[in-house]
Amino acid sequence: MALSKLSSPSSLSTNILKPLTNSFLLHRPISTDTTPLTIETSVPFTSHQCEAPSRSVETTPKELLSFFRQMATMRRMEIAADSLYKAKLVRGFCHLYDGQEAVAIGMEAGITKKDSIITAYRDHCTFLGRGGTLLEVFSELMGRKDGCSHGKGGSMHFYKKDSGFYGGHGIVGAQIPLGCGLAFAQKYSKDETVTFALYGDGAANQGQLFEALNIAALWDLPAILVCENNHYGMGTAEWRAAKSPSYYKRGDYVPGLKVDGMDALAVKQACKFAKEHALKNGPMILEMDTYRYHGHSMSDPGSTYRTRDEISGVRQERDPIERIRKLILAHDLATEKELKDIEKEVRKEVDDAIAKAKEGRQ
């Protein structure tokens, strides 16, 4: 079944002020189709001290199409941030997330906005997934008052407390004990929610991670520690920094799960599983096997410690957006032209948001 015709172009300009989840519904009414589909994950989960969840993931046409649009928006947003940085409209540090979009999208699909997320400085897409807007993103990047932190936080310090997003932290690993503190508050309040504390493989050897994990395990806190393993901590390959790069096993007494972080449906399944576990049994570690296309930050070309062939190989074989595109086409949920039209709409929304952000007060 193909998608219906586009809504009028006049509705597009308002989307820069709307969260991702709402903007999709404005364009594709047929995407509300909730006929169940069962899709198998790209690779099996690998577990430690627990039973792995099923590889069969239930989804719908609506969800797959929303995944495509949201990830396309995130990808375009990060590419635009690259251009703004090079034009010196974004100052300070800037760490981009392109390539890792499936982690942000899949996580949101497996939890609710009542659950909390806290992350490091690669935070633009996580903020957008939590319901932030493109206008808030670009305004914050350019130091404008309309930004999510009123232009005072910049790239590394996005924040949206009303949707359970607690940053955006610039100190390596510092968000992990804070995340466990959020989980302590959730358990104290008995509100049946959990916290996802995200960190990279470069932060996985931090002492504060193990201290926080120990107390979380002692107190059975509903904390899920998520290692976004993009295989390079700045310019250092994981095998050079960690004697044991099996990060999902690093909790020892804490259960862990290795997940294909380039497969949005696998991430969804893992996060749903982890939430159920944490509410009953305490903390868990998820290792998301993912990849960043850009360098560590905008000051890093990203090609001195890895080959261009490696990067292009991941793009061709594991790109999260292309995987969802293939699923949509295989199940006849849209045509190639209709997906390209979505990408054109996304590009316009991003351009409109940038133009409006530039007009904002500093």
**203-246 confidence digits (pLDDT tens):** 999 999 999 999 999 999 999 999 999 999 999 999 999 999 99
pLDDT of residue 32: 66
Q: What whole-number distance in Å separates Cα of residue 197 and Cα of residue 123? A: 12
Query: Taking CA 234 as the corner, what is the angle to CA 315 and CA 351, rounded to the nearest 5 degrees?
Result: 55
pTM for this prediction: 0.91
**44-73 confidence digits (pLDDT tens):** 999 999 999 999 999 999 999 999 999 999
Is pLDDT of 13 > 90? no
The secondary structure element, H or E, covering residue 126 is helix 124-129
Q: Give the single-character DSSP code of 159.
A: -
pLDDT of residue 11: 43
Yes or no: say if 228 and 257 are a contact pair by the CB < 8 Å rule.
no
pLDDT of residue 18: 59
- List all residues 6 or more positions away from 256 whose beta carbon is below 8 Å from its beta carbon: 47, 48, 49, 50, 247, 248, 249, 250, 284, 285, 286, 287
pLDDT of residue 27: 47
pLDDT band (50, 70, 90) for residue 92? very high
pLDDT of residue 362: 87
CB neighbours (10 Å) of residue 335? Answer: 13
> Burial of 9 by CB count in 10 Å (0-12 exposed, 13-18 middle, 19+ buried)?
exposed
Compare 20 and 104 and report the one with higher pLDDT: 104
pLDDT band (50, 70, 90) for residue 349? very high
Average pLDDT over residues 105-111: 98
Is pLDDT of 4 > 90? no
Give the start-to-end residue ranges of the domains of the chain.
37-359
Helix locations, 87-122, DSSP H: 101-110
pLDDT of residue 174: 97
CA–centroid distance for 306 within its chain: 23
pLDDT of residue 19: 65
- List all residues 6 or more positions away from 232 whose beta carbon is below 8 Å from its beta carbon: 201, 202, 238, 292, 296, 305, 306
pLDDT of residue 31: 56
Tokens of 149: 């932190």
> Burial of 94 by CB count in 10 Å (0-12 exposed, 13-18 middle, 19+ buried)?
buried
Is pLDDT of 15 > 80? no
User: What CATH class is the domain 37-359?
Assistant: alpha beta
**252-303 confidence digits (pLDDT tens):** 999 999 999 999 999 999 999 999 999 999 999 999 999 999 999 999 999 9
pLDDT of residue 328: 97
Compare 23 and 55 and report the one with higher pLDDT: 55
